[in-house]
Amino acid sequence: MGLRVLAVDDEADFIETLVKRFTYRQIPVTAAGNGPDALALLERESFDVVILDMRMPGMDGLAVLQEIKKRHPLVEVIILTGHASVESGMQGMSLGAYDYVLKPVDFGELLEKAKKAYERKKLNESRADA
């Protein structure tokens, strides 16, 4: 399958593990350490699913999500968060996030969600072409 993932998190260790695990499953994954880097990458390359950390210094996850949805409405975003804030969860979902997941996340579950999000993007695209 052609799923391409962009993982955005300021925690280098976490993102390294994530990259390793996706790579092990032979899913192309690119890492970005902050919001602006992620947005720049999205301009240059195409991705299907963005895994986005909520709390990052500078541009926070919600702001990045908003930009992504504005510039690339078809790209699906899964938000990861370290602390359950219902408020930001509501905001995230209403801004068009595919899902809002609490850390620590089971990788199998995350992979499943990423695949579902990818399936959704494909469905959306096939309709756009029809």
Partner 1 sequence: MNPEPTPDAPGPLPGDHAPPLWPHTLLAPGLAGAAVLSALAAPPLVGVGLALFAGAICIGSALTLARRVRRGERELHELDVRLLHSQKLAAIGELSSGIAHEINNPLAIITQEIDLARELFGQDACPAPEDLADIKDCLDQVGKQVARCCQITHKLLNFARKMEPVLQEEALEQVIEDMAVLVEREAAGRGVAIRRDYDQSLPPVRTDVPLLRQVILNLLTNAMHATPEGGTITLATCRQNGRAVIEVRDTGCGIPPENLPKVFDPFFTTKEPGKGTGLGLSLSHGIVARLGGNLTAQSAVGKGSVFTVSLPL
Contact residues toward partner 1 (CB under 8 A) are 73-74, 84-86, 89-90, 93-94, 96-102, 116, 119-120, 123-125, 127-128
Nearer to partner 1 (CB atom), residue 16 or residue 109: 109
Indicate left, alpha or beta for 51 from its phi (over 0: left) and psi (-120 to 50: alpha): beta
From the CB of 88, what's the least distance to partner 1, in Å? Answer: 10
From the CB of 34, what's the least distance to partner 1, in Å? Answer: 24
Rounded Cα distance between 56 and 9, Å, is 7
Nearer to partner 1 (CB atom), residue 31 or residue 75: 75
Distances (CA, A) of 61 to 9, 89, 129: 9, 11, 30
